[in-house]
Structure 1
């Protein structure tokens, strides 16, 4: 019988703050805040996102903005981070890197700096309560002016070493000129923050190359479209740039027709470090263990390979070295242990 994937120690490196929300929590907070949810968000089933023209992105963004609007108080922020950490703990995650754009919450929380300070304090509280280590990735929005991204990078740099572990660039990668964000990435790197921009999901290999030049990233948010170019895969493997692969979101947004089409094996076999992620479980309908289950059932990875993915997620994380050593030893122990009677996948 295969080992229980929920007990496999792992790191979760691609989770957005609002998108981590439990559906029940969103409904409760919407009622409290007087936010009217569209029908597609009222039910516990993930919304249908894909359409021919937008490949699902524009509808996804509209629904994400509605979900973000239910967060109106400091207690709401604390609750979401606590629940996210509880969910991660239940799924075997022992290190979480949660991504957030403080400017998206600034208007309701006395500015981006105040919000980030609240967020970092809430992350520490959640970490202490659950035992899940939490690092914060401050993200800029590529649909806004690149000067806004520089402001975000300076804010991230100010809290480097105080909970902020990286700097990202998110939202629709078809928007904006990636090269114009190079200045923001440089600010982050000078502060010692690795960069983790999105790229290689809605656009192909050429855009991945643009991101490599502009950001000099440690990891790519998604990066799956790099599989279309063997030479690019070789470059990613040589540089050790990890890809945060999120099968559920790739399929929901219409990038691939089904989970088997996600090029997980292609990336792994090319030597590219891979960390599975759930992206936005609220809208895509599944959390981290489900991504490992897809790797098992749709891509035929055995427990040794799955343990390898978990170890890859740990090595690609920005966790302290002692945390990495502990987690890697726990992954080895999971693989070495006999499966308890009655153990099942989640």
Structure 2
């Protein structure tokens, strides 16, 4: 078995960002919405830089307007993930895109997404859990509405809360109320930091928001003291190497710091972030890491073990997924 064929765990996946371009084009066609401006001639998403990426991302969301749209989207995402050997995934879901932050509408969207996830688990053997995210550039007040939606639907399926969006807007600490609300509801916590924000953004996320995972976090490598702190605290980084390379943080996989972070004792996992936007899959991430660092099956097994330990799921689910990982 090659490393690309190994069963995989993915902790950092944006739901709308995982939408296959063909799916969005089909939905736009059905709804007679012109989205031609966000696609290249080959049909892939067209963006230049992170700010433009966010604009294209939100434009694609314009055709995702109903629970049924999200049910279909969830099936499309999970079919692609399962085809790449993913046996457990956590997806970032924003109430801002699922009902505009209204709790009643959010429940309808969530029911549709869960229904699709249950169908995919029966048919494809992949388990999905939801992490509600607020959107940083929508501001702290809107984040409170997302946190309330998360708190009201926390349970066996909605198991975490986090924050995505533009790291250049505000500070992590500005969103403390939303994270406190989610924590009090029993949700596990993560947030994007250390991607376009420097090491201080990671330090602030850990110390002020009390998160146990960091989305990306790779720029922590620029501060040796922070690297030691992350290792000592046992914080898990949701690393997305392909995304970081495409968005220009690093020139290529060989210059990516994931191996140095891991060698320093920091817990790392591997994910795709927004795979069709960044022309990647979990198979490709494994292949490129194998080529760049010589990682073998035992290295990826250790990374998956780390990811499973950090997963925001109950122990029964963890045990079930562990059995899938062992079938190699």
TM-score with structure 1 setting the length: 0.88
Of residues 14, 25, 36, the one that matches 1:16 is 14
Distance (whole Å) between structure 2 residues aligned to residue 59 and residue 256 of structure 1: 19
The alpha carbon displacement at 1:115 in A equals 2.8
Question: What residue in structure 1 maps to residue 30 of structure 2?
Answer: 32
What are the equivalent positions in structure 2 for 1:121-200 lying under 5 Å apart?
A: 121-200=115-194
Q: Is the 8 A contact 2:206 2:212 kept in 1?
A: no
Matched, 1:60 2:53: yes
The alpha carbon displacement at 1:42 in A equals 4.5
The alpha carbon displacement at 1:75 in A equals 2.6
**Any stretches of 5+ residues in structure 1 without a counterpart?**
51-55, 335-346
Distance (whole Å) between structure 2 residues aligned to residue 124 and residue 330 of structure 1: 17
Distance (whole Å) between structure 1 residues aligned to residue 17 and residue 41 of structure 2: 16
Aligned to 2:137, what secondary structure does the other structure show?
coil
The alpha carbon displacement at 1:265 in A equals 0.5
Matched, 1:93 2:91: no
Deviates more, 1:67-76 or 1:253-262: 67-76
Question: What residue in structure 1 maps to residue 63 of structure 2?
Answer: 70
The alpha carbon displacement at 1:99 in A equals 0.5
Aligned CA distance change for structure 1 residues 26 and 35 (closer, same or farther; 3 Å): same
Aligned CA distance change for structure 1 residues 108 and 183 (closer, same or farther; 3 Å): closer
Question: What residue in structure 1 maps to residue 206 of structure 2?
Answer: 212
What are the equivalent positions in structure 2 for 1:37-52 lying under 5 Å apart?
A: 37-44=35-42, 46-47=44-45, 49-50=47-48
Distance (whole Å) between structure 1 residues aligned to residue 22 and residue 231 of structure 2: 41
TM-score with structure 2 setting the length: 0.92
Question: What residue in structure 2 maps to residue 342 of structure 1?
Answer: none
**Any stretches of 5+ residues in structure 2 without a counterpart?**
none
Matched, 1:284 2:278: yes
Q: Is the 8 A contact 1:181 1:214 kept in 2?
A: no
The alpha carbon displacement at 1:333 in A equals 4.8
Q: RMSD across aligned C-alpha pairs, in angstroms?
A: 2.1
Distance (whole Å) between structure 2 residues aligned to residue 44 and residue 323 of structure 1: 40
